């Protein structure tokens, strides 16, 4: 058994390493190039770009059907049907693309958006085409081969970063930067296709109408939950821009970008650790499975609290050094928003548990309730406190949705108990 666990852990840790390298490289680009762009454009134009990106993100989350984690589980459970699963997911996502693009354009029209938003949207639209191709990454993830995704995508991102530096030196306008953001997506996924075709064959993928319905029936909770999650992350930006303006949105976005830099950690760990938990559930005593789950929860909380404390202490210095005087007030937003990492980390880990235990429908209920709370609080707090009010709304609703809502439903009360126990384990470094 010990040798078996060593074999499992080794590729898992290697996969976590590569996913971390991916996010750390983007972290470096975000800190150097992204913040340089924010300083150059100023809060107003930076807010306009982030407003458009928020809408694109919401629509792409609808396009991918929120089934990434579920599809990885399907690939692990049915490796012989890999081509049919990938092909069906690809075609289904591709078919939804036109509807999402149309919905975004209608939103701009009825909200009275200026013409600059349409141009920004056009340049950022390659993000839509990337969604169907992300099924390649899902297969790599299921085989713990994220290294191939990381290398392929980062080539495109680094080329894009180099072009952005040129645009900064040449003092180009806002639309040029949006165009390069779209171009780097095209480059990244072109390299991803090349990497996949070297060992696999996209043209071997199949499509099954029956599998479409089976995937939708089993995965609809993920669809609704994922839409709620992305709305959690982006609805604040849409509401800030419409209530108090793009400048305040630029301040909010500058602060939350720092918080978002750390979200890669639970994503990388949980996505790689999922295979370990699935195997433990199938092959080991339930006590061992719970032990592994609690270990994941405990380290998620410890990591989130450590990061939040460190950033809180230096929030003023971080904003002043990175963004400058134009973004005064962002330090207060950062001080509040960084603590949302705690429920985010624990929520991501709990999501893996809910997938394995087939509790995904409750995840949907939880996220929808949290989203409703977030929107309600935004209407109250944004007019009074601006960007800081949105940060408070986010913090409260995240804690409710990721943790406390588990106490509402009987099947998830045990999960709530595990989460609370993980807080009591913050200063313990022993195995549960």
Q: Could you read off the pLDDT tens digit of each residue along the chain, which spans 432 residues?
A: 444 444 444 566 666 666 666 667 777 777 778 888 988 999 999 889 989 988 898 888 777 776 666 777 777 777 777 788 888 888 888 888 899 899 999 988 888 888 889 999 999 999 888 888 877 877 777 666 667 777 878 888 889 999 999 999 999 999 999 999 999 889 988 888 888 788 778 777 887 777 777 777 766 666 776 677 777 778 888 899 889 988 999 999 889 888 888 887 887 777 777 767 777 777 767 777 888 888 888 888 999 999 999 999 999 999 998 898 889 889 999 999 999 999 999 988 888 888 888 887 787 788 888 889 999 999 999 999 999 999 999 999 999 999 999 999 999 998 899 899 888 877 665 554
Question: How large is the C-alpha radius of gyration of the chain?
Answer: 21
Instruction: State the DSSP code for 161.
Output: H
Given a contact cutoff of 8 angstroms between Cβ atoms, the answer to whether 128 and 144 are in contact is no
* CA 68 – CA 75 distance, rounded (Å): 11
Is the residue at 5 inside a domain?
no
Both tokens of 22, joined, read 């991916």
* CA 275 – CA 82 distance, rounded (Å): 16
User: Is residue 413 classed exposed, middle or buried when 0-12, 13-18 and 19+ CB atoms within 10 A define those classes?
Assistant: exposed
Is the residue at 431 inside a domain?
no
Is the residue at 429 inside a domain?
no
Q: Domain range for residue 30?
A: 10-424
Query: Nearest CA to 251 among 342, 336, 334?
Result: 334
Both tokens of 131, joined, read 């969604």
* CA 290 – CA 296 distance, rounded (Å): 10
Query: Nearest CA to 407 among 392, 393, 418, 395?
Result: 418
Is the residue at 341 inside a domain?
yes
Query: Nearest CA to 416 among 356, 361, 355, 366?
Result: 366
Helix axes 413-424, 286-313, angle to 10 degrees: 50
* CA 256 to the chain's CA centroid: 13
- Put simply, whether the predicted model's pTM sits higher than 0.85 gets the answer no
Q: What are phi and psi of 309, to 5 degrees?
A: -65, -45
According to DSSP H, which parts of 111-145 are helical? 115-124, 126-142
Say whether 41 sits in a helix, a strand or coil.
helix
pLDDT of residue 260: 81
CA angle 55, 29, 296 (to 5 degrees): 80
Number of folded domains that form the chain: 1
What is the maximum alpha-carbon separation in the chain?
63
pLDDT of residue 427: 66
Is the residue at 4 inside a domain?
no
Both tokens of 190, joined, read 């072109």
pLDDT of residue 12: 61
Give the up-direction half-sphere exposure of residue 359: CA atoms within 13 A in the CB hemisphere.
Answer: 19
């Amino acid at each position: 058994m010990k040798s078996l666990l060593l074999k499992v852990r080794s590729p898992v840790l290697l996969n976590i390493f590569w996913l971390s390298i991916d996010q750390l490289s983007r972290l470096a680009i975000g800190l150097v190039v992204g913040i340089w762009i924010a300083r150059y454009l100023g809060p107003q134009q930076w807010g306009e770009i982030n407003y458009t990106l928020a809408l694109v993100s919401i629509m792409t989350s609808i396009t991918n059907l929120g089934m990434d984690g579920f599809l990885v589980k399907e690939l692990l459970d049915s490796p012989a049907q890999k081509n049919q699963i990938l092909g069906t997911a690809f075609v289904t996502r591709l078919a939804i693309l036109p509807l999402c693009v149309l919905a975004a354009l209608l939103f701009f029209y009825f909200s009275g958006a200026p013409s600059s938003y349409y141009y920004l949207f056009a340049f950022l639209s390659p993000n839509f085409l990337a969604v169907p191709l992300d099924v390649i990454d899902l297969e790599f993830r299921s085989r713990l081969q994220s290294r191939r995704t990381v290398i392929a995508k980062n080539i495109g991102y680094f080329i894009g970063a180099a072009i952005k530096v040129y645009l900064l030196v040449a003092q180009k306008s806002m639309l040029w930067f949006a165009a390069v953001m779209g171009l780097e997506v095209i480059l990244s996924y072109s390299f991803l296709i090349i990497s996949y075709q070297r060992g696999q064959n996209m043209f071997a993928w199949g499509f099954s109408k029956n599998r479409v319905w089976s995937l939708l029936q089993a995965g609809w909770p993920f669809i609704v939950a994922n839409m709620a999650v992305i709305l959690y992350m982006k609805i604040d930006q849409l509401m800030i821009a419409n209530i108090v303006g793009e400048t305040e949105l630029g301040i909010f976005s500058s602060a939350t970008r720092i918080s978002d830099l750390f979200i890669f950690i639970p994503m990388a760990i949980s996505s790689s650790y999922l295979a370990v938990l699935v195997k433990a559930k199938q092959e080991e005593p339930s006590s061992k499975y719970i032990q592994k789950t609690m270990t994941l929860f405990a380290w998620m909380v410890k990591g989130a609290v450590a990061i939040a404390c460190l950033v809180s202490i230096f929030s003023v210095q971080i904003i002043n050094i990175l963004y400058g005087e134009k973004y005064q007030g962002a330090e207060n937003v950062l001080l509040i928003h960084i603590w949302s990492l705690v429920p985010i980390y624990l929520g991501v880990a709990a999501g893996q548990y809910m997938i394995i235990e087939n509790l995904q429908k409750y995840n949907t209920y939880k996220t929808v309730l949290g989203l409703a709370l977030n929107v309600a609080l935004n209407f109250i707090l944004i007019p009074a406190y601006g960007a800081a009010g949105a940060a408070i709304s986010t913090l409260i609703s995240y804690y409710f949705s990721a943790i406390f809502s588990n106490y509402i439903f009987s099947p998830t009360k045990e999960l709530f108990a595990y989460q609370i126990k993980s807080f009591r384990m913050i200063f313990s470094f022993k195995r549960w």
